[in-house]
A and B are shown apart, each in its own frame.
Chain A
Amino acid sequence: MTTVQHISAGRRVKDRLAQGLVYLAFALAVVPLVSVLWLVIKNGLARFDVEFLTHSMRNIGARDAGGGAYHAIIGTLEQVLLASLISVPIGLLTAIYLTEYGNGGRLSRAISFFVDVMTGVPSVVTGLFVLAFWILFLGMPFSGLAGALALSILMMPTVVRSAEEMLRLVPNDLREASYALGVAKWRTIVKVVLPTAFTGIVTGVMLAVARVAGETAPLLLTVFFTDSINNDPFSGPQMGLPLYVFDQAGRPNDTAIDRAWTGALTLILIVMLLNLVARLIAWWRSPARGR
């Protein structure tokens, strides 16, 4: 009478095989990531210097070395900040409506559907939309704000979806506990539900920011572009790092190509830095701290 069965050789082989396949798939996924990082760092370090970070391309001739991306860095930061200021409140409120008030009604299903549609809109189309509506129809000038509008359209569905998911993860027990204390619904949302989902919402917003920070097409049509520093996102053409990379990479000499690589490296670093800050905020607010 045997009660303990041994794993047969066949099953052991299958186990090994499946394990090998999983590792292989992982390696395949990592290869492009590592190679992109490696290329950008290797080629970008050449011009990653103080001049690059503090100077614009004003008065830099076609074949001149030097110059920098200060104007593009300022532009990108301002545009992304503006886009976040527009899309995060709207996206968050939409997510709150969907999870807390919608109850699967007709309006909430319609909103859900259109958020999904928005997720699938190609980025260049949002740029075209802002160009057609804001700049051509309303007669507004090319500006960082116009770019931010296009970016915010791209950001919104990501923010809504991630915030919605995080709010749905908040256990219903907590809402009920708060109601049972005689706390009104909106206060329950503000004081109990949102703080509980805070970490996840921050992560979702950061992913959305990271996504739009690298968008070129919508900027091309809305912020125009410039070689000079323009600190005011509300008037006049601005620059953005993706645009800068696009512009420099299209020029026929090595100094410009080097600038393009460094621009790409700077963009990656900015997104990483923003991510780090968000992680810190999330960690600082996380309930597990100090247990």
Chain B
Amino acid sequence: MSKQIQVSGLDAYYGSHKAIEDVSMTIEPRSITAFIGPSGCGKSTFLRTLNRMHEVIPGARVEGKVLLDGEDLYGSTVEPVSVRRSIGMVFQRPNPFPTMSIYENVAAGLRLNGRVSKSESDGIVEDSLKGANLWNEVKDRLNKPGAGLSGGQQQRLCIARAIAVRPQVLLMDEPCSALDPISTLAIEDLMVKLKDEYTIVIVTHNMQQAARVSDRTAFFNLDGQGKPGKVVEMDETSRMFTNPSQKATEDYITGRFG
């Protein structure tokens, strides 16, 4: 199920403002890749270009290539909607649909995309909630509103919702920044478990988190205010945190700036 992503020469714009410049990298399947870097350096923007969520913002556009197992996501005949179906996303703030129950939230991707039988969706909802380590907490109240859960549970609900459509890649945009340490731990455990099946990409401001969970890390930085963000360095996480080849990476990781 899990697929490799290859990015080459990617620029992303908001109107006339260039947010990231000339990003190239390979994201390996069945692994966790972490993006770190100071605020405003384009990590989230880059993450959103990977499943064509960037262009949802009015005036935003992308130049360059993103290949999912060799297939160009920005090809002229590619439908953005189908890209998002195979590359799921979890956002910074948990955003369950307020009008839907827990069950409906998880089944939302299936139901909104077409018909599924009741028994089929029952199975997928249970699997997804188990996959997100939430099943035991909510199995007795699947018909209660998803918005009634705690923040950490809501975030796991959103992960369950994202994996219910069986994507090949899961993008996570600072998924733990609004959560307490215990919920964070639960989500981190979940990520490690999910990487057996999915390609996972995570944006994080938390250096320890990147060090704990990721296999590879990319460090983003920008030369100055208003300049586009770039990838400074990308390597095995263990090497990035012990022996980075760039001075800027070392400064950032050791807390000298950012």
Chain A interfacial positions (CB closer than 8 Å to B):
103-104, 171, 173-184, 187-188, 191-192, 195-196, 198, 285, 287-288, 290-291
Q: A176, B91: Cβ atoms under 8 Å?
A: yes
Q: Does B81 contact A (CB under 8 A)?
A: yes
With A173-B93, A192-B97 as given contacts, are A181 and B147 in contact (CB-CB < 8 Å)? no
B89 contacts the other chain (Cβ, under 8 Å)? yes
- Interchain CB contact under 8 A, A176 and B53: yes
Chain A residues, Cβ within 8 Å of B162: 180-181
B82 at interface, CB cutoff 8 A: yes
Q: CA–CA, A182 to B109, complex, Å?
A: 7
Indicate if B98 sits at the interface (CB-CB under 8 A): yes
Q: A176-B53, A187-B112 are in contact. Are A182 and B95 (CB under 8 A)?
A: no
B210-228 vs A, Cβ < 8 Å mask (1 yes, 0 no): 0000000000000000000
Q: How far is the CA of A285 from the CA of B145 in the complex (A)?
A: 12
A288 to B99, CA, bound (A): 8
Given A196-B97, A287-B99, verify A182-B145 contact (CB < 8 Å): no
Nearest B residue to A188 via CB reads: B112
- Residues from chain A with a CB closer than 8 A to the CB of B200 are none
Cβ of B88 within 8 Å of any chain A Cβ, yes or no, is: yes
Cβ contacts B106-144/A at 8 Å (1 or 0 each): 001101110000000000000000000000000000011
Which of B95, B96, B148 has most chain A Cβ within 10 Å? Answer: B95
B58 in the interface (beta carbon within 8 A): yes
Given B88, B89, B95, B147, which contacts A287 in the complex, CB threshold below 8 Å?
A: B147
Q: What is the interface of chain A mostly: helix, strand, loop, or mixed?
A: helix
Q: Mark B22-38, 1 if CB is under 8 A from A, else 0.
A: 00000000000000000
Inter-chain contact total with CB atoms closer than 8 Å? 85
Residues of chain B lying within 8 A (CB to CB) of residue A173:
91, 93, 95
Q: Which residue of A lies closest to B82 (CB)?
A: A182
Chain B stretch 153-208: residues in CB contact (< 8 A) with chain A: 158, 161-162, 165
- Complex: how many Å from CA A183 to CA B83? 10
- A291 CA to B84 CA, complexed, in Å: 31
Once the chains are docked, how many angstroms separate the CA of A180 from the CA of B50?
11
Could you say which residues of chain A place their CB within 8 Å of the CB of B81?
179, 182-184
| B51 proximal to A (CB < 8 A) | yes
CB contact under 8 A between A196 and B98, given known A180-B162, A291-B148 = yes
A-B contact pairs, 6 of them (CB 8 A): A104-B58, A174-B98, A181-B161, A182-B83, A183-B112, A198-B99
Q: How far is the CB of B91 from chain A (nearest CB, A)?
A: 7
Chain B residues within an 8 Å CB radius of A184: 81
Q: In the assembly, what is the distance between CA of A15 and CA of B86, in Å?
A: 60
B51 cross-chain contacts in A, Cβ below 8 A: 180
Other contacts beyond A174-B98, A291-B145: 14, CB < 8 A: A171-B95, A174-B97, A177-B95, A177-B161, A179-B53, A180-B88, A181-B84, A181-B88, A181-B162, A182-B82, A182-B84, A182-B85, A196-B98, A291-B144
Q: How far is the CA of A180 from the CA of B143 in the complex (A)?
A: 23
B165 engages A177 (CB within 8 Å): no
Query: Looking at the complex, which one of A174, A176, A182, A195 makes contact with B165 (CB distance below 8 Å)?
Result: A182
Let me know if A177 and B158 touch, CB within 8 A: yes
Quick check: A180 and B53 within 8 Å, CB to CB?
A: yes
- In the complex the two chains form, is A180's CB within 8 Å of B145's CB? no
Bound CA–CA A287/B93 (angstroms): 19
A171: chain B residues within 8 A (beta carbon): 95
Chain B residues closer than 8 Å to A192, beta-carbon distance: 97, 99, 112
Give the CA-CA distance A184 to B97 in the complex, in Å. Answer: 16
Residues A195 and B99 in contact, CB atoms below 8 Å apart: yes
A178 B108 Cβ-Cβ under 8 A = yes
- Asked whether B161 lies within 8 Å of A176 as measured between CB atoms, the reply is no
Please state if A103 and B58 are interface contacts (CB–CB under 8 Å). yes
Q: Which residues of B contact A198 (CB under 8 A)?
A: 99
Partner of B145, one of A103, A195, A287: A287
B144 touches A290 (CB 8 A): yes
- Bound form: Cα–Cα A290–B100 in Å: 11
CB neighbours (8 Å) of B88 from chain A are: 180-181
Least Cβ distance of A201 to chain B in Å?
13
Taking CB as reference atom, which chain B residue is nearest A180? B89
> Shortest CB–CB separation between residue B227 and chain A, in angstroms?
27
Rounded to whole Å, the gap between the CB of B149 and the closest CB of chain A is 10
Residues in chain B near residue A288, CB distance under 8 A: 145
Among B82, B84, B99, the residue within 8 A (CB) of A180 is B84
- Give the residues in chain A near B97, CB-CB below 8 Å: 174, 177-178, 192, 196
